[in-house]
Amino acid sequence: MNRLVLAEEQFLKKVKILTLWVIIGQLLTAFVGRSLSPLMIYIGSDLSLNKVQLGLLPTALFIGQFIGTLPIGFLVDKKSVRKVILIIMLVVGGAFFLFSWSNIFIVSFVAIMMAGIGYGGMHPSTNKAIVQMYPNAKVSLPMGLKQMSITLGSSGASLILIPIAILFGWRVALSLAVILLIIFSLLLYRKLAILEELPSTSKSSKSIVSQIGPLVKNKSLLFTTGSAFLLMGIQVTFNTYLIIYLYEIKEWSIYSAGICLAISELGGAAGRVLWGIISDRLFRQNRWVVLILITMQSILLFYLLHIVFSAALIILIVVSIGFSLSGFNGVWMSLAVESVEPEQSGTASGFSVMFASVGVMIIPPIFGFFVDLSGYVAAGSFIIISLTLCFVILVLANFITNRKRNVESL
């Protein structure tokens, strides 16, 4: 009996260590994938891009995410997770390396789009790894930590890549990040061999066509994806234009603005864990209420960001926006995987990320168009209107899902 307990403890220790490796892999993928925002001023100046073109660069990333996320999510439900993760990390690294030495906008756009295929595929792949390692009752915390690593990676990009870009240029900074990602991907592939020891009962035998039908009819998943469509688009818009806004309107230095973005991402990292805990302990896993609170808070904060000029208050507002807009991601991923059976977790999260990515394709360029046309007041009004629409969707989702839950309990 003692041997069985000891063997179980040793296996759990291996799982915890493996979870840390998966989290670091997600972090480094985000470190490279989210490097566009902190380097945007240097990229725009070097390539002579206007605001709309700047908005199209993150759009390219999420076009790739839109293309690749669902097929990759389906693939990890049927094939080896470790092989898929290795391939997509190499794709992200190779595509960003090509982008870092390109001088042609269309080549840069296509390279980032290719990177987006891998970047988006990392979500369902790591989600699948987490679901495979943990029972449903214990998924929330590791899922939140994994999602937190994305904002930590983005924050790290602001803190580390901007100083390197100042000294050696943005191309060198991005190339060094890519090399780090590729080296770690090879190490992670070896560590993920332990997944082969886990039960394979979570693999799906259904075709992708037969799985999509029930997903489209799943109201909870559709509401989740609809709200993420808006919140993701606004989140990426905020990250893309924050440094430019602080530099042009608030007259901050580029480095100070970059530090502010990094602090915002740290707030988002905390939010991805804390919002999940709040939804579990205060709202009995009613994650719709949490998303409603996040949306209401974001509306107020965006308004305050425009009228406030005190540096201390701006930092506080920016951190709070990061806590809300980046923090929603963990709740979103939990809702997506909770809306289906475990064997469909990869496909469901891929489905949700794929369609939510459309918001990231559309909203940043529209925001940039309004900035070029009428300035940040009109663009800010567009963001607030989008958040208000998201609020309406979430209230409707909360009402419908609660009514369904009450009917089923009768």
- pLDDT surpassing 80 at residue 80: no
Angle of helix 36-47 relative to helix 254-281, nearest 10 degrees?
A: 150
Per the CB < 8 A criterion, the answer to whether 188 and 21 are in contact is: yes
d(CA 233, CA 360): 4
For 1, other C-beta atoms within 10 Å of its C-beta total 5
For 359, other C-beta atoms within 10 Å of its C-beta total 25
Per the CB < 8 A criterion, the answer to whether 346 and 122 are in contact is: no
The predicted pLDDT at position 295 comes to 94
Tell me the percentage of the chain whose pLDDT exceeds 70. 88
Q: Helices in 192-253 by DSSP H: which ranges?
A: 208-217, 219-248
403: three-class secondary structure by DSSP: helix
Average pLDDT value for residue range 319-342: 80
Q: What are phi and psi of 104, to 5 degrees?
A: -110, 130
- Using one digit for the tens of pLDDT, what is the confidence trace for 153-183? 887 888 899 899 989 999 999 999 999 999 9
The predicted pLDDT at position 16 comes to 81
The predicted pLDDT at position 201 comes to 41
390: three-class secondary structure by DSSP: helix
What 8-state DSSP symbol labels residue 323?
I
- pLDDT surpassing 70 at residue 102: yes
What 8-state DSSP symbol labels residue 110?
H
Per the CB < 8 A criterion, the answer to whether 233 and 360 are in contact is: yes
Average pLDDT value for residue range 310-328: 89
CA-based nearest residue to 91, from 73, 63, 116, 65? 116
Better-predicted residue by pLDDT, 148 or 298: 298
Q: What is the pTM of this model?
A: 0.71
Better-predicted residue by pLDDT, 136 or 228: 228
